[in-house]
């Protein structure tokens, strides 16, 4: 996992490393003419990602549950880049109804879509079901992004075909995908409270992010679409994502501070994978500290990738039918 590079900040083959910042990895890149959606762009590394994209000239759509925080993030962006184009749309990824409403609202704007960054998430939550009756971490971190991506995919493909500019989708995963349930995804016990572990459920959802990216990448290649899909581990960063385990993380950080990043460093890998010209045509890969790394064996399991896709499609279809009934 490039542990030596992580600790030392030594740059990898990409020319960047764990100490690189989002501004550094996008220096000199002109993103004007590009439209990007960033889920969870109201705080943490999502907010920094939005700021840097706006700084490079992109039209940024912040998809956020907390509209006040999103407006604060927009205000901060405009202080850095007064000419920035930033719009805010409400999105609660734990609700499939909200995901569909967001997609409808965005599509009604008749905008192109070049880049989708599936950044938002929850972490180490006490056992809880979403409004749709799905374990909350799986619902928010994976299922909401799965549906959102599918709803926006045609627009991305049409934009890429019309402009000749490659579309890019980035799923924010985590090194935590290594710490999941024994079988990776517990399809039959997903909502079982007795099987629930807040840490393993988070790892399961982050494994799902990589599996989703890899399966979608395969499907887009077969379709001949000019859209790439990759997943990233942003690193250990103290953000609101850790609100359910703040004391534990503060304690751990005291003994492992050399592994932690600040927010500008945490946003670097996302911005690198989404914008850097050296990654043109690169798809179905996993990145760590702005360099390609090998994820877990489960994450590379093609049968598990397809199984998760089929399972996710089935859930979305069933829940949609229930809403219409």
List the one residue out of 317, 117, 94, 296 whose CA is nearest residue 208: 296
**What is each CA distance from 5 to 8, 9, 287, in whole angstroms?**
5, 5, 13
**Rounded to an integer, what distance in angstroms lies between the CA atom of residue 210 and that of residue 55?**
28
Q: Which residue has the tokens 């909200």?
A: 98
Other beta carbons less than 10 A from residue 192's beta carbon: 11
* DSSP secondary structure of 197-260: -HHHHHHHHHHHHHHHHHHHHHHHHHHT-SEEEEEEE--EE-SGGGGGGHHHHHHHHHHHGGGE
> 73 forms bridges with which residues in the sheet?
none
Residues classed as catalytic: 196
Structure tokens at 132: 């749709």
What three-state secondary structure class fits 157?
helix
E-assigned strand segments in the chain: 35-39, 59-64, 85-90, 115-118, 167-172, 227-233, 236-237, 260-261, 286-288, 291-293
Q: How far apart are CA 120 and CA 237, in angstroms?
A: 14
Alpha carbons 248 and 124: distance in angstroms, whole number: 11
For the record, the structure tokens of 99 come out as: 């995901």
Residue 44, judged by CB atoms within 10 A of its CB (0-12, 13-18, 19+), counts as: buried
């Amino acid at each position: 996992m490039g542990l030596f590079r992580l600790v030392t900040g030594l740059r990898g083959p990409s020319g960047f490393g764990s100490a690189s910042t989002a501004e550094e990895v996008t220096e000199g890149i002109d993103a004007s003419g590009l439209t990007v959606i960033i889920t969870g762009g109201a705080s943490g590394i999502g907010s920094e990602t939005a700021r840097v994209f706006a700084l490079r000239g992109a039209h940024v759509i912040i998809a956020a549950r907390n509209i006040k925080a999103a407006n604060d993030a927009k205000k901060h962006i405009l202080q850095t880049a007064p000419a920035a184009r930033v719009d805010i749309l409400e999105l609660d990824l734990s609700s499939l109804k909200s995901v569909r409403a967001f997609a409808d609202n965005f599509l009604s704007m008749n905008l192109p879509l070049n880049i989708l960054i599936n950044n938002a998430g929850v972490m180490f939550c006490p056992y809880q079901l979403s409004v749709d009756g799905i374990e909350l971490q799986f619902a928010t971190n994976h299922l909401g992004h799965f549906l959102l991506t599918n709803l926006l995919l045609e627009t991305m493909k049409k934009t890429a075909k019309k402009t000749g500019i490659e579309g890019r989708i980035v799923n924010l995963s985590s090194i935590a995908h290594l710490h999941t349930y024994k079988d990776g995804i517990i399809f039959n016990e997903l909502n079982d409270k007795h099987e629930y572990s807040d840490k393993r459920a988070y790892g399961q959802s982050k494994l799902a992010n990589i599996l989703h990216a890899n399966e979608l990448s395969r499907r887009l290649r077969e379709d001949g679409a000019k859209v790439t899909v990759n997943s990233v581990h942003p690193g250990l960063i103290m953000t609101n994502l850790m609100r359910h385990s703040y004391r534990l993380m503060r304690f751990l950080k005291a003994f492992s501070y050399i592994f932690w990043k600040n927010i500008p460093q945490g946003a670097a890998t996302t911005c690198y994978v989404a914008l850097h010209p050296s990654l043109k045509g690169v798809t179905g890969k996993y990145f760590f500290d702005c360099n390609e790394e090998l994820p877990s064996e489960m994450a590379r399991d093609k049968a598990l990738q397809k199984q998760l896709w089929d399972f996710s499609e089935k859930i979305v279809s069933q829940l949609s039918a229930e809403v219409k009934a």
